[in-house]
């Protein structure tokens, strides 16, 4: 098996080597002071604090609970598939499972257990990576059929000293298709003394035939709070003082990977002077990140439309060594956090949220509407791509910040369309009669009518609802997207007699549709509306009416002599669409009913 796993047998000490070494001299020797003993090689934190048992694993409670129960009930699978991003503990978990399967206890009589003793011969040999029956293979470099055939051949022989032979295959998705096929039969019906443990970061590349033969565990990313707590304990064991904010920065930079985070912690400890505390500024400089408060300052400057202040903040970050492209990514991350705080207020009390986000972030989220945050997100995404492609990253990042500042005070597109539809901000505004305006986004009846007479006061009149399309336009204006969709696609109008609307909803309409619609109408008009449900067939839905009207327009266009001549001259040509400027957004022409008479009470001199 040395050809497969590249392991050499441990050398047996000679009889002379087994003799007790003489004690070191107590005083100076013949040639002066004795040489100092060889120093123990330094072990990085990721190896020094590698979990040795299921109790040491963090962030994987579901997997640990299942494995503990499996060992307690003697229902341990013969093959495991461990998936997850790098550094979450896949290989570590595989080694713990191997020890749990082969532990014999301190007295040598124990059986498989979820809490391996760590002192028996099998446990110590597996911990030292020198057990002959626990073999690890890197599938990234051993991908062929011949490599898998060596595994299959090895399964025929019983273990040398352990209870089970355990084959740990890392990055198993790198195996070739033929190698997977060669493994299938043995994987489905292995000998009782064999167990397989596979680890991969790309589970989608593993054939489903292999996945179906394994008990799969998806190791999740470790949360920021769990990583921070873990790093704090390790720093205390190392005798290092590190600020909580610095730990949070390291945990966020680790992106759910314990190994990545410990490597960063190692680096942070190495850069600090002995005995000196490690602050957030030092960690931010090490990571090339801008200070979190600096990112908040930049976000406020951008949202207030202050390009000079935004560029000054960017200059300060650049002087401290921060990459402005990374600064934009930090700003993008903050915009996402602010949006989540906006739509999920309960996050302000979540322990997962850092203190700065819970306090300053929550206050900032209160002042920013979701459309503005969404627009900023889109612009930053595009801007970060421009920075990556630009020859001068700093100049490109500054242009992105300037662009953000100059659009900060612009209204969202929906509000802009509504203002234009209502007459804008200058000049006299004529009062809308309340007729069908179709799908004008927020215009017409939806936003209410305004009137000016002789330079007098502008009075907002209640919307006039003359039909179901007026009601649909009102829902668009009030941003009731789901209610509007159900009204257009799932409701048949039986009778429209304000303030009573009789409808026949389809089965896919929500049960509270009538109550929600009545509430919106009452809020918009100040009148109590009754939405009655009927079993009468009623009219086709607005969507069906629009489809029928579109089909009629297509048929009429196809019968036009000029169109027919074109279709005959170009075989295979077809009518893609027929556009009629006179129809509304539902594809229907305006109602022919005369507009209602004006109400003089809506005018004020």
Q: What's 359's DSSP letter?
A: I
Task: Return the ∠ at Cα 291 (arms to 285 and 297), rounded to 5°.
Answer: 150
Q: Are residues 70 and 195 in the same domain?
A: yes
pLDDT-derived band at 275 (thresholds 50, 70, 90) equals confident
422 within some domain: yes
Kindly tell me if the per-residue pLDDT of 99 is higher than 90: yes
What is the enclosing helix (H) or strand (E) of 169? strand 165-170
Q: Are residues 329 and 388 in the same domain?
A: yes
Q: Are residues 53 and 172 in the same domain?
A: yes
163-172, 312-321, 341-350, 534-543, range with the lowest pLDDT: 341-350
Kindly tell me if the per-residue pLDDT of 118 is higher than 60: yes
In 3-state terms, what secondary structure has residue 134?
A: strand
Per the model's pLDDT, the better-predicted residue between 186 and 5 turns out to be 186
Q: Residues 9-34: what's their mean pLDDT?
A: 47
Residues composing the chain: 605
Q: Are residues 264 and 326 in the same domain?
A: no
Kindly tell me if the per-residue pLDDT of 427 is higher than 70: no
pLDDT-derived band at 232 (thresholds 50, 70, 90) equals very high
Determine the pLDDT at residue 425. Answer: 46
Cβ atoms of 209 and 74 within 8 Å: the answer is no
pLDDT per residue over 442-454, tens digit each?
333 433 333 333 3
Kindly tell me if the per-residue pLDDT of 79 is higher than 90: yes
Supply the range of the domain harboring residue 231: 224-287
203 within some domain: yes
Residues 6+ apart with CB under 8 A from 498: 465, 527, 529
Q: Are residues 273 and 298 in the same domain?
A: no
H helices within 195-279, ranges in order? 208-211, 224-237, 244-254, 258-271
Domain end position, chosen among 539, 569, 594: 539
Determine the pLDDT at residue 386. Answer: 92
Across the chain, mean pLDDT equals: 80
Per the model's pLDDT, the better-predicted residue between 551 and 2 turns out to be 551
In which residue are the tokens 């008990």 written?
215
Kindly tell me if the per-residue pLDDT of 223 is higher than 60: yes
Determine the pLDDT at residue 332. Answer: 93
Kindly tell me if the per-residue pLDDT of 103 is higher than 90: yes
Kindly tell me if the per-residue pLDDT of 226 is higher than 50: yes
466 within some domain: yes
In which residue are the tokens 């209410």 written?
448
Kindly tell me if the per-residue pLDDT of 234 is higher than 50: yes
Q: Are residues 68 and 203 in the same domain?
A: yes
What is the CATH classification number for the domain harbouring 325?
Answer: 1.20.272.10
Determine the pLDDT at residue 262. Answer: 92
Determine the pLDDT at residue 110. Answer: 86
Determine the pLDDT at residue 589. Answer: 77
Q: Are residues 429 and 320 in the same domain?
A: no
Kindly tell me if the per-residue pLDDT of 602 is higher than 80: no
15 within some domain: no
Q: Residues 522-549: what's their mean pLDDT?
A: 87
32 within some domain: no
Q: Are residues 69 and 190 in the same domain?
A: yes
358 within some domain: yes
Domain end position, chosen among 389, 407, 425: 407
Cβ atoms of 379 and 407 within 8 Å: the answer is yes
Per the model's pLDDT, the better-predicted residue between 593 and 270 turns out to be 270
Kindly tell me if the per-residue pLDDT of 409 is higher than 70: no
What is the CATH classification number for the domain harbouring 232?
Answer: 1.10.8.60
HEC-encoded secondary structure of 106-135: CCCCCCCCCCCCCCCHHHHHHHCCCCCCEE
Total of domains in the chain: 4
Determine the pLDDT at residue 428. Answer: 36
Q: Pairing relation of β-strands 194-200 and 79-83?
A: parallel
109 within some domain: yes
Residues 6+ apart with CB under 8 A from 352: 223, 224, 225
Q: Residues 233-254: what's their mean pLDDT?
A: 89
Q: How far is CA 158 from CA 110, 125, 422, in A?
A: 19, 18, 84
Per the model's pLDDT, the better-predicted residue between 417 and 432 turns out to be 417
Q: Are residues 206 and 244 in the same domain?
A: no
Kindly tell me if the per-residue pLDDT of 98 is higher than 80: yes
pLDDT-derived band at 320 (thresholds 50, 70, 90) equals confident
Q: Are residues 202 and 145 in the same domain?
A: yes
Q: Are residues 253 and 276 in the same domain?
A: yes
Determine the pLDDT at residue 450. Answer: 36
Kindly tell me if the per-residue pLDDT of 440 is higher than 50: no
Q: Residues 22-33: what's their mean pLDDT?
A: 52
Domain end position, chosen among 259, 287, 315: 287
pLDDT per residue over 470-481, tens digit each?
888 888 888 888
Q: Are residues 451 and 338 in the same domain?
A: no
25 within some domain: no
Per the model's pLDDT, the better-predicted residue between 399 and 595 turns out to be 399
């Amino acid at each position: 098996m040395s050809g497969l796993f590249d392991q050499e047998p441990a050398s047996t000490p000679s009889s002379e080597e087994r003799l007790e070494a003489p004690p070191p001299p107590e005083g100076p020797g013949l040639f002066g002071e004795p040489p100092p003993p060889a120093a123990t090689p330094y072990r990085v934190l990721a190896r020094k604090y590698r979990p040795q048992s299921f109790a040491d694993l963090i962030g994987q409670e579901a997997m640990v609970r299942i494995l503990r129960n499996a060992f307690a009930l003697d229902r341990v699978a013969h093959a495991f598939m461990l998936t997850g991003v790098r550094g979450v503990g896949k290989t570590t978990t595989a080694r713990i499972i191997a020890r749990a399967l082969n532990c014999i206890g301190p007295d040598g009589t124990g059986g498989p257990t979820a809490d391996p003793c760590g002192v028996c011969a099998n446990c110590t040999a597996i911990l030292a990576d020198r057990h002959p029956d626990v073999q690890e293979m890197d599938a990234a470099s051993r991908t062929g059929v011949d490599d898998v055939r060596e595994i299959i051949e090895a399964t025929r022989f019983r273990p040398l000293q352990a209870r089970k032979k355990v084959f740990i295959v890392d990055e198993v998705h790198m195996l070739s298709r033929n190698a997977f096929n060669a493994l299938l039969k043995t994987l489905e019906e292995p000998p009782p003394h064999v167990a397989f443990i596979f680890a991969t970061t790309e589970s989608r590349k593993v054939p489903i035939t292999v996945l179906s033969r394994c008990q799969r565990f998806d190791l999740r990313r470790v949360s920021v709070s769990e990583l921070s707590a873990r790093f704090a304990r390790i720093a205390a064991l190392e005798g290092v003082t590190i600020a909580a904010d610095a730990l949070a920065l390291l945990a966020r930079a680790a992106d759910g990977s314990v190994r990545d985070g410990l490597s960063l912690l190692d680096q942070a400890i190495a850069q600090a002077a002995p005995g000196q505390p490690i602050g957030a500024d030092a960690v931010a400089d090490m990571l090339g990140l801008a200070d979190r408060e600096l990112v908040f300052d930049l976000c406020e400057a951008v949202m207030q439309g202050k390009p000079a202040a935004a560029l000054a903040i960017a200059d300060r970050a650049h002087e401290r060594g921060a990459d402005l492209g990374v600064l934009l990514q930090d700003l993008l991350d903050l915009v996402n956090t602010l949006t989540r705080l906006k739509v999920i207020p309960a996050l302000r009390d979540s322990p997962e949220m850092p203190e700065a986000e819970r306090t300053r972030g929550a206050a900032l989220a209160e002042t920013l509407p979701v459309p503005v945050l969404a627009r900023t997100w889109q612009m930053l995404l595009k801007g970060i791509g421009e920075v990556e492609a630009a020859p001068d990253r700093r100049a490109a990042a500054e242009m992105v910040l300037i662009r953000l500042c100059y659009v900060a005070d612009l209204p969202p597109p929906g509000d802009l369309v509504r203002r234009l539809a209502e007459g804008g901000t200058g000049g006299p505004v004529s009062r809308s009669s309340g007729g069908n305006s179709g799908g004008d986004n927020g215009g017409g009846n939806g936003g209410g009518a305004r009137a000016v007479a002789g330079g007098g006061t502008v009075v907002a009149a209640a919307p006039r609802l003359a039909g179901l399309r007026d009601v649909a336009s009102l829902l668009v204006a009030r941003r009731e997207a789901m209610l509007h969709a159900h009204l257009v696609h799932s409701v048949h109008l039986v009778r429209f007699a304000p303030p009573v609307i009789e409808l026949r909803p389809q089965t896919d309409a929500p049960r509270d549709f009538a109550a929600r619609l009545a509430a919106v109408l009452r809020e918009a008009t100040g009148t109590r509306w009754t939405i009655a449900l009927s079993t009468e067939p009623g009219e086709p839905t607005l969507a069906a009416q629009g489809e029928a009207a579109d089909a009629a327009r297509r048929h009429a266009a196809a019968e036009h002599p000029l169109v027919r001549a074109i279709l005959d001259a170009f075989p295979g040509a077809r009518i893609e669409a027929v556009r009629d400027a006179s129809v509304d957004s539902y594809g229907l022409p305006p109602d022919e009913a005369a507009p209602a008479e004006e109400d003089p009470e809506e005018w004020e001199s």
